Structure 1
């Protein structure tokens, strides 16, 4: 990277995973919605993604954007997702283009296709072996307004890529938890994303040669709702974790040789 990488929403869990995993590998500029409790090790700004001046200040001087900021609540009301997630993402793209940013990585979500999971009778959700697997080529099918905002963010990325040539990667992030997958929660285990795999897929999105991508951000779990083959092919993603390698007491289970 020729300049700093802007990480918005740096105080959230995804930002935490990224900074823990690859924090020493890049010159970061962090954006927080509220002042951080501790002084960060990197340059940072405090601002609102829905405020044009705050966004311009955040994007100033950066070469890439990893955009995580927004209202993360799955039950967020329309007013909030419209302002924080949709309008905020559009402002970030607009400022990035004005600044000449070359690459934009957008934290999408499994909720962009959440309705598929509640209607498994849908034929396109199944491969020939009858395994429920989505690969990123399907149309969005959000199951809540938060998912609508994430699907809209992907479409904004498509527009800004086509119109301005900015490189865009949309990562449909699964169920991120530290150290171990959710216990006694099959759906969460199927879409589990470990902290180190989260850092790794974002590193891949910053480094790989591609134009526009939609990929799933999950670990290499035996049981999957989502395919990670596109992430492997387009980004060089090589996840190291698998929810099947943890037992109910949160111990690692060595995989068979």
Structure 2
């Protein structure tokens, strides 16, 4: 891709994982509400995602958008998720469509489907022998208002694909940690996403040929209740990490 990639929420944890693996792969235009604290791999725009004029200016000339910005708190109140996550996503999708951007990769969340984790399914759901999988075709079942905002972002993406011809990939991100997954936390192991696999997944979402997709963002864990088959088939996702490498109860061992 020759045109710049606009990365909103660039200073957050997901943004840093992406830039940590892909800083030299693209020309970046980075956007965050807070000024940067160090050197950045591209132009940096200090703006709020709800500032329509600033977003339109930042969108000028870009080829793709990775939209991460918003209130990331699972306990975030409605006024915040409405303004920062829903209105913010709408501003980004609208500006991208008006600027004839090729695609928007939208950071959704496991919280958009968190209510599938019922008492009847857990804790077996988190164990490698359990075959239950969510694959992206299921309806959203948010576990909190933050999850409602992410499900709404997915629907906004569908709307802008259908009516404005945007390519949209929604990535339901799992449990992103920089080092190993939480060893004593089965749910965290089941939805673990390494920094390396996160960068690779978003790289594939920028390069692959698709129209509208919902995929799960986790590593290739033995414990999993999210399917990564669609990400493999459509995006060419090839994760390298597995939470079982840090789990004494699983057959895999570190370095395998």
TM-score surpassing 0.5? yes
- Does 1:143 find its partner at 2:137? no
**Post-superposition CA distance 1:135-190 (Å, at most 9, x none):** 00000000100000000000000000000111100000000001211121110000
**Paired residue for 1:102?**
102
Report matched runs for 1:15-34 at 5 Å: 15-34=15-34
Moved more, 213-222 or 45-54: 45-54
| TM-score (normalizing by structure 2) | 0.93
Task: Name the SS of the counterpart of 1:118 in structure 2.
Answer: coil
Q: 1:65 is matched with which residue?
A: 65
Q: Partners in 1 of 2:137 and 2:231 — Cα distance?
A: 12
Task: Give distance in 2, aligned partners of 1:110 and 1:99.
Answer: 30
1:120 deviation in Å?
4.2
Q: What's the offset of the Cα at 1:58?
A: 1.6
Q: Which residue of 1 aligns with 2:116?
A: 116
Contact 2:109/2:150 (CA < 8 Å) preserved in 1? Answer: yes
After TM superposition, the structure 1 = structure 2 runs for residues 91-240 of structure 1, keeping only pairs within 5 Å, are 91-120=91-120, 131-240=131-240
- Corresponding residue of 2:8: 8
Contact 2:23 2:41 in 1 (8 A): no
How far residue 95 of structure 1 moved from its aligned partner, in angstroms, is 0.5
* Structure 2 equivalent of residue 38 of structure 1: 38
User: Taking structure 1 as reference, are residues 120 and 230 closer, same or farther at Cα in structure 2, changes over 3 Å only?
Assistant: farther
Deviation at 1:131, TM superposition (A): 2.0
Say if 1:241 and 1:53 are closer, same or farther in 2 by CA, change over 3 A. same
Could you list the per-position Cα deviations for residues 6-47 of structure 1 after superposition, in whole angstroms to 9, with x for gaps in the alignment?
000000111001001011000010001111112323101010
Give the deviation of 1:130 after TM superposition. Answer: 5.4
Structure 2 residues without counterparts, runs of 5 or longer: none
Structure 1: distance between partners of 2:4 and 2:119: 43
Q: Secondary structure, in 3 states, of the residue corresponding to 2:117? A: helix
* Residue matched to 1:253: 254
